[in-house]
């Protein structure tokens, strides 16, 4: 099988490395737009060959779109003429909007996937050969795909060591909001709270594990995350509102010195870790 990867940043580059590590592809083709990315991809030896979209469609059995979610939508028209036997797949963090926008010509070929993994880093240099190992990938609305494409997608994720979860794309977006999009909005807000203080440097001199963990994802790419917030707008607004209820709660309990109630509320939060 030949695999083509569009976008060789953190997600695409790591996929290329994993595919190479496990000897899954005969040949790995890559497509990148910027000259800077192309140079880095070649230096890192991420793919066997960088090609244009035309060659990608000719050579590959599986084409993976590892690009920001809005770019996934805008690039789709270029893939309307793929072969029946070519699988095309995206790795975007939102799924419902993408699924709704898959052109009917390639609906059967198109696998909507979301590997629940990543780091705050981006670009080819951020890629790691073990990013996917032991992590979960969500495959959405597979009943719209033919067996060939479905099985090919399942096999590749199994081969790189992932746990597979099947889910409706709408439900996926609700869950991904709580597990990833809302936490990003919160982390960006916390980082901005500190950066807008009159003296962020001496405050951050005291940073320990708690703040480091809570602000790590505030380093994530604004372009990528603006697109995600846009595509999962409704769920994110709902998520923020529910989170805000709890922020108001804790503020009120502290303000009113209701410490027993506060401890009880914290205990409820502790129960998360019976699951996680």
Question: For residues 167-206, which are near a copy of itself according to CB under 8 A?
Answer: 174-176, 178-180, 182-197, 200-206
Q: Rule CB under 8 A: choose which of 84, 85, 101, 250 binds a copy of itself.
A: 250
Residue in 21, 87, 20 with CA at minimum distance from that of residue 48 = 20
Residue in 23, 87, 26, 37 with CA at minimum distance from that of residue 67 = 37
**Partners of 5 in the beta sheet?**
30, 64
Minimum CB–partner distance for residue 228 and a copy of itself (Å)? 11
Interactions with a copy of itself, residue window 7-26 (CB under 8 A): none
Q: Of 2-10, 31-39, 50-58, 244-252, which segment contacts a copy of itself by CB under 8 A?
A: 244-252
Check residue 233 for interaction with a copy of itself (CB under 8 A).
Answer: yes
Q: Is the CB of 23 or the CB of 209 nearer to a copy of itself? A: 209
67 DSSP 8-state letter: S
Interactions with a copy of itself, residue window 146-165 (CB under 8 A): 165
**C-alpha dist (Å) from residue 240 to 79, 170, 205, 262:** 36, 18, 30, 21
Q: Rule CB under 8 A: choose which of 35, 143, 147, 267 binds a copy of itself.
A: 267
8 A C-beta contact, residue 124 and residue 37: yes
Full 3-state SS string of 92-131: CCCCHHHHHCCCHHHCCCEEEEEEECCCCCCCHHHCCCCC
Q: Is the CB of 87 or the CB of 180 nearer to a copy of itself? A: 180
Minimum CB–partner distance for residue 20 and a copy of itself (Å)? 23
- Binding-site size for a copy of itself (CB under 8 A) equals 90
**C-alpha dist (Å) from residue 156 to 57, 86, 161:** 19, 14, 9
Check residue 80 for interaction with a copy of itself (CB under 8 A).
Answer: no
Minimum CB–partner distance for residue 224 and a copy of itself (Å)? 10
| Site track 99-138 with a copy of itself (rule: CB under 8 A), x = hit | -----------------xxxx---------------xx-x
**Partners of 49 in the beta sheet?**
29
Q: Is the CB of 3 or the CB of 227 nearer to a copy of itself? A: 227
Minimum CB–partner distance for residue 188 and a copy of itself (Å)? 4
Which two three-digit tokens encode residue 260? 């027993």
**Partners of 140 in the beta sheet?**
112, 167
């Amino acid at each position: 099988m030949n695999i083509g990867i569009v976008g060789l940043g953190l997600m695409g580059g790591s996929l290329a490395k994993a595919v190479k590590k496990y000897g899954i592809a005969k040949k790995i083709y890559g497509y990148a737009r910027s000259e800077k990315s192309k140079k880095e991809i070649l230096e890192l030896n991420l793919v066997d060959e960088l090609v244009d979209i035309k060659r990608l469609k000719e050579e590959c059995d599986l084409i993976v779109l590892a690009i920001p979610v809005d770019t996934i939508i805008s690039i789709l028209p270029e893939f309307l003429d793929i072969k029946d036997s070519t699988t095309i797949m995206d790795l975007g963090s939102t799924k419902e909007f993408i699924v709704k926008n898959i052109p009917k010509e390639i609906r059967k070929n198109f696998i909507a996937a979301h590997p629940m993994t990543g780091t705050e880093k981006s670009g080819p240099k951020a890629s790691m050969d073990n990013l996917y190992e032991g992590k979960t990938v969500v495959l959405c609305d597979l009943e719209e795909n033919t067996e060939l494409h479905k099985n090919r997608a399942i096999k590749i994720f199994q081969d790189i060591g992932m746990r597979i979860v099947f889910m409706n794309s709408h439900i996926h977006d609700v869950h991904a909001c709580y597990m990833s999009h809302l936490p990003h909005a919160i982390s960006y807000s916390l980082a901005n709270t500190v950066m807008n203080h009159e003296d962020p440097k001496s405050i951050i001199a005291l940073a320990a594990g708690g703040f480091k963990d809570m602000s790590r994802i505030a380093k994530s790419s604004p372009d990528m995350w603006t697109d995600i917030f846009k595509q999962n707008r409704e769920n994110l607004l709902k998520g923020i509102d529910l989170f805000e209820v709890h922020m108001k709660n804790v503020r009120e309990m502290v303000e009113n010195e209701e410490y027993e109630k506060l401890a009880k509320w914290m205990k409820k939060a502790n129960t998360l870790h019976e699951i996680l």
